[in-house]
Amino acid sequence: MIFILGIERSATTWVASILDHHPQTDVYMEPLSDYTSRFEQWPDRFTVLNERQEKAAYFEKEFELLKKHRRFLLSRILDTSRAWQWDLNTAQFLSNKGLATAAIRDFLELNYHRKNRKQRIKKEPPLQMVIKELRLNFNAGLITKLDSSAKVLVIIREMASCVRSIMQQIEKGNLVELKRDLTRKYGDVSPQTVCMYWSESYSTLIETLQDKQVSHRIVNHTDLLESTGETVQDLLSFLQLSSTSAIGDFLAYSNQAGSGKHSTKRDHQTLLDQIQEDRDLIYPKVKGELQKIESHPVLKNYIHL
């Protein structure tokens, strides 16, 4: 199994989409989301789970049931881009009309990264299962119980840009689940509490992966923007996946302006140019947290004072 972990607005969706353009992967997006029909007994993202073996068994049981909703109508018999888009459009129409069943809502949630995809990716079994999740950062110890040979990609974005982007999305009315959890944990949603979320999530995740000796690779979002091809080749090598022309085509396609809650279109240079602007905006508001981040052996690389 391959896990893509991180927090919101850190490019986890982009990395998941990159891997989904490989013929030997099967990507599942955020099974623990509040918007799927399973995992009703799963706590919020900050609660540390005890009895990991029991929780791992619960995860496996619920995930097996959820996987049955991975495809909808035409995508059950055809693996073409047209089949997927027809299914996604139909499912979205039914959802907008209030007619979507739990299975249809699951289909949309597990496949939101496939919306408007133009390329056809012919999959070649056996496939490696890829789970992109934002709610395992405080419970990464479960991973070894699910698969002792699992590999983990940790996606980290420069703190100021990540905080600014999360705040922007929450102000637009998106990231409702995250806003709820942040309010419960910290009392409010502000640049300081989002920075605390960024810092605590990644420090806990990295410490657990190191302690449990989970095979993992930290992927720097800035490296993805500055040296896209080399960075993607490195993560593919780590996962023991070959390079493919489909991934190259997708990387070229995704290097353009875009917007939206789950957009994977990004003008690399625009995002790089914005980093200093984000630092000027966010750093004065999180001075206390910056001192803590400076002392972290890994996270200190994602701030620049």
Q: Would you place residue 236 in the very low, low, confident or very high pLDDT band (cuts 50, 70, 90)?
A: very high
Residues in the chain: 305
3-state SS string for 190-229: CHHHHHHHHHHHHHHHHHHHHHCCCEEEEEEHHHHHHCHH
pLDDT digits 0-9 by tens, 7-50: 999 999 999 999 999 999 999 999 999 999 999 999 999 999 98
What number of other Cβ atoms are within 10 A of residue 160's Cβ? Answer: 27
How much is the pLDDT for 166? 97
Averaged confidence pLDDT in the chain: 93
Whether the pLDDT of residue 168 is over 60: the answer is yes
pLDDT digits 0-9 by tens, 81-105: 889 999 999 999 999 999 999 999 9
Whether the pLDDT of residue 237 is over 70: the answer is yes
pLDDT digits 0-9 by tens, 63-83: 999 999 999 999 999 888 889
Whether the pLDDT of residue 259 is over 80: the answer is no
- In the chain, the percentage of residues whose pLDDT exceeds 90 is 85
Residue 127 vs residues 12, 15, 239: alpha-carbon distances, Å: 20, 17, 13
Is-contact 203 299, C-beta < 8 A? yes
Residue 140, phi then psi, degrees to nearest 5: -65, -15
Q: Would you place residue 305 in the very low, low, confident or very high pLDDT band (cuts 50, 70, 90)?
A: confident
C-alpha to C-alpha distance for 201 and 189, rounded to whole angstroms: 16
Q: 180 CB contacts (<8 Å, ≥6 apart)?
A: 44
- For strand 151-156 and strand 2-5, is the pairing parallel, antiparallel, or unpaired? parallel
Using a cut of 0.85, tell me whether the model's pTM lies above it. yes
DSSP state of 99: -
How much is the pLDDT for 258? 62
Is-contact 8 166, C-beta < 8 A? yes
Determine the topology of domain 2-70+111-157+212-270 in CATH: Rossmann fold (3.40.50)
User: Side-chain half-sphere of 27: how many Cα atoms within 13 Å?
Assistant: 22
Structure tokens at 106: 């699951």
Whether the pLDDT of residue 207 is over 60: the answer is yes
How much is the pLDDT for 256? 75
Whether the pLDDT of residue 229 is over 80: the answer is yes
Which residues on adjacent β-strands are paired with residue 29?
132
Whether the pLDDT of residue 264 is over 70: the answer is no
Structure tokens at 133: 């999740």
- For strand 151-156 and strand 128-133, is the pairing parallel, antiparallel, or unpaired? unpaired
pLDDT digits 0-9 by tens, 48-58: 998 999 999 99
Chain-centre distance for alpha carbon 79: 23
The domain spans of the chain are 2-70+111-157+212-270
